[in-house]
Structure 1
Amino acid sequence: MRTRLLRDPDEAAAVLRRGGLCVVPTETVYGLAARADDPDAVAAVFRAKGRPSDNPLIVHLADAAQADAVAHVTETGRGLLAAFAPGPLTVVLPARPGLPSAVTAGLGTVAIRVPSAPLVLAVLGGTGPLVAPSANRSGRPSPTTWQAARDDLDGRVDAVLRGPPTEVGIESTVVDATGPVPLVLRPGAVTLDALRALFPDARAIGDGDEVGRRSPGTQHRHYAPRARVRVVDDVRQWAPGPDAAWIGLSEPPPGYALVAVCPDVAHYARRLFDTFRRADAAGLSRIDAEAVPPVGLGLAVMDRLRRAAEG
């Protein structure tokens, strides 16, 4: 397959309407889009990514009003969408009949999101609902630039829509809204504190909660570069070397081959996956990633670091 580079969202929409696959920029990470109502196109997403079939997909919508077409929107879900859509929040709701079973992984629930990036919204305006998991080979760090997405999927997708680097840099917060209490299944830029401002009883999932299967991106190896990731929380663990990279809030000692010092946690999140990919491109064998307090956005950063280190 020849992968075309596009600049016009109308061209991207045309590719998708024909049942093709197109990489699109969102505010979180670049996504691999396909029509949510086309079983063949959805199946092609799984093949292109090498994605396990029990990993559900997020359905992206042009606006929150479209949610009723694909989901039974609960009172909790309606409140979350009113407060945070468009934006980096995914809401899990009971699914309506009609979606391909691969979208929901047969769970009876569907994850929906209204992105805020202008280019993907322009595409959605010409297509209707789209699935759009991260545009990487399964298990690799999510792409935050169109170049990174092309590196992973060139020849496996029909087109890549070029856009700017993503603003958030990590995947959306996923919240189960099937019941009266919002349950965070995957942390992201919409923090637990922000949710509790509206729903004081909102909580994060525990290790034993079976409902976690409803969330995309939590059941399999994720976010891992080829280099070994070490999460370091003590200066005595810092180990500069010509084969090592550093990312964190602190200035490391000299000797690291690649250094990404971030002024705050938001920049850390934005630069994390790009640093992973730069380290791999340089052939480095280790990435030292400084731990941050697991509060607010720091909880999402630590979640991605933990998963990358386990990988």
Structure 2
Amino acid sequence: MNTALTSSPEEAARYINRGRLVAFPTETVYGLGADITSTAALESIFKAKGRPSDNPLIVHISSPARIREVAATVTPEAEKLIEKFFPGPLTLILPRQPWISDLVTAGRSTVGVRCPSNPLTREFLSCCTHPVAAPSANISGRPSSTDWHSVQQDLQGRIDCILKGSASAIGLESTIVDCSSPVPMLLRQGAVSLETLQEVLPSIKASTRHNSSQKAPLSPGQKYPHYAPRAQVILFDTGTGPTAVIPQNAAYIGTAQPPDGFRKVLRCPDLDTYAHNLFRFFRECDRQGIGTICCQRPPSSGIGRALQDRIERAAEPR
């Protein structure tokens, strides 16, 4: 299969409407989309990524007004979050419409929905006949793709089309909130932080991190290893240094000045820049044959909490 490249949202949407797979930009990371009504296309997502079938997909809509096409019920709590954060980097878990395929929901009675804010993405989605189900556009378990070149490196020949856009502005996947239960629950950290969510809904709680022993997860990012480069990832605390002796062939990313001796260094001026560059840095290190990546531990607040989650998952044994 030859993977087409296009800058036209209309052309990319024609692939979706014919039951094909299209990678597309969003403000978080690039997604790999299929028409939500096409069983064959949905199955192709799991095959192209090597994604476990019990890992649910997020449905992308072009405007907040289309959410009831996907969600059977929109709770009052969800309405408040939609009003404040849609379009944007927030996914809501809601009771699903009965017609939605189990391939999207991993057999659960709920579905994840989001409305991206990227203008090119929304134009693309508005040209699609139906909402688009999409996980991140990368090989399952690898760092998410934040530019179309990374998508091409992972999925060339596995998918039908890549919609070329700018690099993702945020660089981390969307925040996920479960609004299907009486108390809204933060399932995955993202750019919309717990503190920001609690300004709108003070009752929101953060869930404990799930592991591989759980059954079908409510949302992506809860069960399987994620975000891992081939290099070993080490998380270290500010001021302590990654190790007494810097590993050979090692790289560093963070906001603090590292000690001398790293082969590759990316010092970021702030946490937003750190988040924006994390997955790109992982991929660059792999291309350069780096053996160890030392990541400064971010603070456990704001986007720092999301950064810490991604780094901890990347550092898990595999």
User: Do they superpose with TM above 0.5?
Assistant: yes
Counterpart for residue 97 of structure 1: 98
Verify the 8 A CA contact 1:181 1:199 in the aligned structure 2.
Answer: no
- Please name the residue that 2:240 is paired with: 235
In structure 1, C-alpha distance between the alignment counterparts of 2:286 and 2:293, rounded to whole Å: 10
SS state at 2:140 partner: coil
Q: Which runs of 4+ in 1 moved over 4 A?
A: 207-212
Partner of 1:256: 262
Deviations 1:4-43 (A, max 9, x none): 1111111100111000101100000001011111111111
Distance 1:132 1:205, change over 3 A: same
1:291 aligns with 2:293: no
How many residue pairs match? The answer is 311
**Native 8 Å contact 1:76 1:178 kept in 2:** no
User: 1:131-280 residue pairs with structure 2 within 5 A?
Assistant: 131-207=133-209, 213-233=217-237, 234-238=239-243, 239-240=245-246, 243-280=249-286
1:112-167 deviation digits (Å, cap 9, x = unpaired): 00001111111101113001110000000000110001100000000111111100
Partner of residue 84, structure 1: 85
Give the structure 2 partner of residue 129 of structure 1.
131
d(CA) in 2 for partners of 1:194 and 1:215?
20
Match of 2:21 in 1: 21
Are the counterparts in 2 of residues 74 and 179 from structure 1 also a CA contact under 8 Å?
no
Identity of aligned residues (%): 45
Q: Distance in 2 between matches of 1:211 and 1:112?
A: 21
In 2, the alpha carbon distance for the partners of 1:4 and 1:240 equals 43
Query: How big is the alpha-carbon RMSD for the aligned residues of Structure 1 and Structure 2?
Result: 1.6
Q: Secondary structure at the match of 1:19?
A: coil
User: Could you tell me whether the CA contact under 8 Å between 1:229 and 1:308 is conserved in 2?
Assistant: yes
TM-score, normalisation: structure 1:
0.97
Which of 207-216 and 128-137 deviates more?
Answer: 207-216
Contact 1:212 1:218 in 2 (8 A): no
**How far 1:235 sits from its partner (Å)?**
2.7
- Mapping of residues 67-78 of structure 1, within 5 Å: 67-71=67-71, 72-78=73-79
Q: Structure 1: state its 5+ residue gaps.
A: none
CA distance in 1, matches of 2:201, 2:146: 31
Given that residues 6 and 160 in structure 1 are in contact (C-alpha distance below 8 angstroms), is that contact kept between their aligned partners in structure 2?
A: yes
The residue matched to 1:34 in structure 2 has which SS? strand
Unaligned runs of 5+ in 2: none
